[in-house]
């Protein structure tokens, strides 16, 4: 594949209705993408079921939510939460009596992390233990879900899991330098990927971000067969990331955040959808735009691609509502700065020779570089400093709009999806927002 397969037309499909069941495969957090889909499921009258990653005790053992946590989780999602801990990855798993990967990593320091070697046979045993634990939990979830789904009804599984960074202090320091450092504090993402630490992290990303989608599709096979045999249908969606087309130089052009260390796992996620599709299962990865959430806030500069959405709104949704979005964003800036100034700065950033070199779809995900960090993190810091408050940024406003737009796009397209991997770019998001807001 050498170009994105983009959704260009607003979906017309309608499948889900009252009595159908929406299952969020991942835990719901405040600002997360999943909110967009949940709003649609609720509006369609579906029964909403949530899941949880569980919680860790002080000794790292994994437990279900306690009564108070469960009540909070159910209130947040507005539905029943099946209380089986679905934490994915194997960073804290091991066969009984053996050290976990996190324990193996505890000897790493900022001085030795690039040279230390891991015992890969031991890591593999931990991976197998983690996968077995997760698959068992999926089976338990499905057993509890079965009686909640009536024959002939439809089920929408929305996969939202992504992550897998092991909780070791040294990685926090490394991550801060790779994703936030420039000048003397710059660190090369390639140095991480070439180390044993980096290889382990990529394996864990594969498990959390990609393979959980496969375990979900496999683990729900019996439910899918029962429903299909009784006139119902089952759909699977997942949130991907593989760059986004945004307005640059007056045209929608593909660009990406670099280094997106999870890129390999997101490509694997796409592969799982393609494989499922070939087997007649309607599973679709929606590659979504960069927004600011709990998960993405560590990547300084990822938010810069959001600004041109304002231009897309004027282009695809001209009128009072688009102007109100410009005004709301302008109100967040300090006196003396305008949205036009900001957009000119972003246009210069996006057409800078350093950035152009990173706009290579076939080479994705590319390593970072000192020059990239300088221009990307520098521009991000500069634009943030032009706001009245760091806690109310233009990118907060625009993230909420993207999230709102992706909800109906994914929900509608999942009724009759065009393929296993679809990009939602700024054009279609703006068109969807125009439809929602007139
Ligand atoms: N934020 C972005 O810019 C962006 C862009 C495109 C796609 N996405 C994708 O959207 C999805 C939701 O992310 P979000 O940005 O809304 O943030 P979020 O923090 O709201 O969601 C992350 C999800 O991953 C789950 N998760 C994290 N670690 C896990 C683990 N070890 N085991 C099981 N589940 C785990 C969480 O429970 C949560 O449901 C992710 O797949 C993410 O990659 C995000």
What pLDDT sits at residue 179?
Answer: 95
Q: How far apart are CA 282 and CA 62, in angstroms?
A: 32
For 350-393, the pLDDT digits (tens) are 999 999 999 999 999 999 999 999 999 999 999 999 999 999 99
Pairing verdict, β 251-255 and 244-248: antiparallel
Q: Of how many residues is the chain composed? A: 438
Q: Please provide residue 194's backbone torsions phi and psi, each rounded to the nearest 5 degrees.
A: -80, -10
How far lies 7's CA from each of 68, 114, 121, 316, 366, in Å? 41, 42, 43, 15, 24
Q: How many CB atoms lie within 10 A of CB 219?
A: 21
The stretch 399-427 carries a mean pLDDT of: 97
Q: Please state, in angstroms and rounded to a whole number, the distance separating the CA atoms of residues 380 and 374.
A: 10
Tens of pLDDT, residues 139-152: 999 999 999 999 99
Confidence of residue 35 (pLDDT cuts 50, 70, 90): very high
Rounded average pLDDT over 168-176: 93
Q: What is the DSSP track for 267-307?
A: HHHHHHHHHHHHTT--EEEEE------TTTTTSTTGGGGGT
Confidence of residue 30 (pLDDT cuts 50, 70, 90): confident
Q: Quick one: pLDDT at residue 438?
A: 78
| Cα 48 to Cα 79: distance, rounded to the nearest angstrom | 5
- The reported pLDDT for the residue numbered 295 is 84
Please say if the pLDDT value at position 197 is more than 80. Answer: yes
Ligand 1 centroid, distance to 318 Cα (angstroms)? 32
Output the pLDDT for position 234.
98
The ligand 1 atom at the shortest distance from the C-alpha of residue 26 is: 39
Residue 408 CA to ligand 1 center (angstroms) comes to 19
Report d(CA 213, CA 224) in Å as an integer: 15
C-alpha 411/C-alpha 38 separation (Å) is 9
Confidence at 319, pLDDT banded by 50, 70, 90 = very high
Cα 161 to middle of ligand 1, angstroms: 5
Q: Ligand 1: which residues within 6 Å by Cβ?
A: 26-27, 29, 32-33, 53, 86-89, 160-164, 208, 239, 241, 288, 290-291, 293-296
Q: What is the C-alpha separation between 277 and 238, in angstroms, rounded?
A: 13
Residues with Cβ < 8 Å from 390, sequence gap 6 or more?
A: 384
> Which protein residue's CA is at the shortest distance from atom 11 of ligand 1?
160
**Distance between CA 386 and CA 148 in Å, rounded?**
51
Q: How far apart are the first and last CA of the chain?
A: 36
Mutate-to-test residue for ligand 1 from 34, 203, 295, 401, highest number of ligand atoms within 8 A of CB: 295
Question: 171 C-alpha vs ligand 1 centroid, how far in Å?
Answer: 19
**% pLDDT > 90, the chain:** 96
pLDDT at 1 over 80: no
Average pLDDT over residues 299-309: 97
pLDDT, tens only, 224-233: 999 999 999 9
- Dump pLDDT digits (tens) for 222-257: 999 999 999 999 999 999 999 999 999 999 999 999
- How does pLDDT run across 267-292, given as a tens digit for each residue? 999 999 999 999 999 999 999 999 99
Pair 204, 93: CB distance under 8 Å = no
Query: Best substitution site from 158, 211, 293 to test ligand 1's pocket, by max atoms within 8 Å of Cβ?
Result: 293
**Overall average pLDDT of the 101-112 stretch:** 95
Give the span between the Cα atoms of 275 and 420, in whole angstroms.
9
Q: What is the spatial distance between Cα 18 and Cα 26, in angstroms, rounded to a whole number?
A: 23
Check whether 55 has a pLDDT greater than 90.
Answer: yes
Q: What's the pLDDT score for residue 3?
A: 87
Atom of ligand 1 nearest to the CA of 403: 16
- The Cα-based distances of 265 to 205, 210, 270, 296 in angstroms read 6, 6, 9, 16
Nearest CA to ligand 1 atom 26: 161
Q: Out of 134, 162, 270, give the residue to mutate to test ligand 1, the one with the largest number of ligand atoms within 8 Å of its CB.
A: 162
Nearest CA to 237 out of 412, 46, 426 is that of 412
Instruction: Read off the pLDDT of each residue in 165-177 and give the average, rounded to a whole number.
Output: 93
- Mean of the pLDDT values across residues 308-331? 97
Helix residue ranges per DSSP H, 55-97: 67-77
Cα gap 392→153, rounded to integer Å: 42
Centre of ligand 1 from the C-alpha of residue 160, in Å = 5
Compute the distance from residue 299 Cα to the ligand 1 centre, in Å.
Answer: 14
185-216 burial string, b = 16+ CB within 10 Å, else e? ebbbbebbbebbbbebbbbbbbbbbbbbbbbb
Q: What angle do CA 374, 379, 380 make, to 5 degrees?
A: 105
- Averaged confidence pLDDT in the chain: 96
Nearest residue CA, atom 16 of ligand 1? 32
pLDDT at 227: 98
Q: Which residues contact 96 (CB under 8 A, 6 or more apart)?
A: none
Q: What is the pLDDT of residue 297?
A: 86
Q: Which residue's CA is the closest to the ligand 1 atom numbered 35?
A: 161
C-alpha closest to that of 431 among 323, 315, 339, 331: 315
């Amino acid at each position: 594949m050498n170009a994105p397969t983009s959704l260009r037309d607003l979906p017309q499909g309608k499948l889900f209705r009252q009595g159908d069941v929406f299952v969020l495969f991942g835990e719901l957090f405040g600002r997360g993408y999943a909110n967009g889909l949940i709003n649609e499921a609720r509006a369609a009258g579906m029964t909403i079921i949530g899941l949880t990653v569980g919680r860790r005790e002080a000794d790292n053992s994994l437990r279900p939510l306690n009564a108070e946590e469960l009540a909070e989780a159910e209130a947040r999602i507005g539905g029943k939460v099946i209380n089986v801990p679905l934490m994915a990855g194997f960073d804290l798993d091991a066969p009984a009596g053996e050290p976990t990967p996190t324990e193996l990593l505890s000897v790493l320091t900022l001085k030795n992390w690039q040279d230390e070697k891991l015992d890969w046979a031991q890591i593999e045993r931990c991976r197998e233990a983690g996968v077995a634990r997760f698959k068992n939990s999926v089976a338990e979830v499905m057993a509890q879900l079965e009686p909640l789904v009536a024959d002939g009804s439809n089920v929408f599984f929305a996969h939202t899991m992504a992550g897998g960074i092991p909780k070791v202090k040294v990685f926090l320091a490394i991550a801060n330098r790779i994703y936030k450092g420039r000048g003397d504090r710059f660190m090369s993402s390639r140095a991480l990927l070439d180390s044993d630490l980096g290889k382990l992290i990529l394996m864990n990303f594969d498990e959390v971000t990609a393979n959980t989608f496969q375990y979900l599709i496999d683990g729900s096979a019996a439910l899918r067969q029962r429903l299909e045999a009784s006139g119902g249908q089952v759909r699977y969606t997942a949130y991907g990331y593989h760059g986004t087309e945004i307005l640059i130089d007056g045209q929608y052009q593909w660009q990406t955040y670099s280094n997106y260390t999870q890129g390999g796992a997101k490509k694997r996620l796409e592969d799982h959808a393609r494989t499922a599709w070939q087997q007649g299962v309607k599973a679709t990865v929606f590659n979504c735009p960069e927004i600011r959430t709990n998960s993405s806030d560590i990547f300084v500069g990822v938010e810069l691609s959001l600004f041109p959405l304002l231009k897309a709104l004027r282009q695809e949704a001209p009128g009072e509502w688009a102007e109100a979005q410009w005004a709301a964003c302008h109100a967040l800036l300090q006196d003396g700065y305008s949205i036009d100034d900001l957009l000119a700065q972003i246009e210069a950033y996006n057409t800078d020779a350093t950035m152009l070199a990173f706009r290579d779809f076939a080479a994705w995900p590319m390593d970072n570089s000192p020059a990239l960090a300088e221009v990307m993190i520098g521009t991000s810091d500069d634009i943030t400093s032009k706001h009245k408050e760091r806690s109310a940024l233009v990118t907060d406003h625009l993230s909420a709009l993207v999230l709102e737009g992706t909800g109906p796009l994914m929900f509608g397209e999942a009724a009759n999806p065009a393929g296993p991997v679809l990009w939602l770019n700024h054009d279609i998001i703006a068109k969807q927002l125009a439809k929602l807001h007139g």
